[in-house]
Homo-oligomer: A and B are copies of this chain.
Amino acid sequence: LALTRRGGCRVVGVGRRAAPLARALRRRAVHEATTDTRRGVRDADIVVLCAPVDRIVPLAATIRPWLKKNALVMDIGSVKAPIVRKLEKIYARGGAAFVGTHPMAGSEKTGVENALPHLYKGATCVLTAGRGTPAAALRRAAAFWRSLGARAFEMNPEAHDDWMALVSHLPHLLAHGLLLTAMKRPGARAHVGRLAAGSFRDVTRVAAADPKQWASIFRMNQTALRRAAGGFAKALAGLSRRGWPPSELARSKAFREVIPGGKK
């Protein structure tokens, strides 16, 4: 949707099922649509793989022989190292290039019905190069996301995964943990609904994200997530031992500078 509004290119939607493609056409999110992946990618200058994280490597490997010589392939997965480290080998032979990207925007909602044309405006997009990724491909990837309004910068794929475990995958995990803890208490169906206010709703919101996609993300980033979850369990135990002194962090100037606009 952001691309068709931006203009300057022809957007081809490739999918497995006809119905979502028809909806994408109706919403003008794509100019044409096909369920034939080979036909969809063979003339493309840029291919963006929007698949669950565990499908990206096989998909990128499948399409490689069909791509134009200077094609740029990107993905939008939330985990980067396992993808980039495999594809840097598969795409090492030259021709089309692969750059792992992670535009950080979106919500727990899915489908073209929930597409927002300005979703990437002001969003962060991490670019992750592998060994041998051409500098020109990285520049094209950055220009692509910037043309949609994102702030794009490069990071090492392992560092990306480590930080994402902490600032994204861990919050999702906490949402699931809170939901399970609350809903399994006897009487939950009668009480949680009428007693849960903003804090419960906020903390559990992201638990409504697609469970299959998140199972893949948790699994693919398990080493970093185990470290983040372990750190959190220690922090929680420490807080309990000390009688839960609320942190002043969220109100500090330092924090407000780190998360601009995130806190009042």
Contact = CB atoms under 8 A, between A and B. Distances in A.
A50 to B, nearest CB: 17
Contacts of A34: none
Contact of A178 (B170, B179, B226): B170
A51 interface: no
Question: Copy number in this complex?
Answer: 2
Interface string A156-167: 000010011011
Interface residues of A, number: 89
Interface of A is mostly: helix
Contacts of A180: 235, 239, 247, 249
Given A215-B245, A240-B229, A250 B185 contact: no
Interface string A126-163: 10000000000000000000000001010000001001
Contact of A182 (B166, B172, B185, B243): B166
A175 B199 contact: yes
Given A192-B259, A195-B163, A229-B236, A244 B173 contact: yes
A232 B181 contact: yes
A172 B194 contact: no
Interface in A221-235: 222, 225-226, 228-229, 231-233, 235
Interface of A: 104-109, 123-124, 126, 151, 153, 160, 163-164, 166-168, 170-183, 185, 188-189, 191-209, 211, 214-215, 218-219, 222, 225-226, 228-229, 231-233, 235-237, 239-240, 243-251, 254-255, 257-260, 262-264
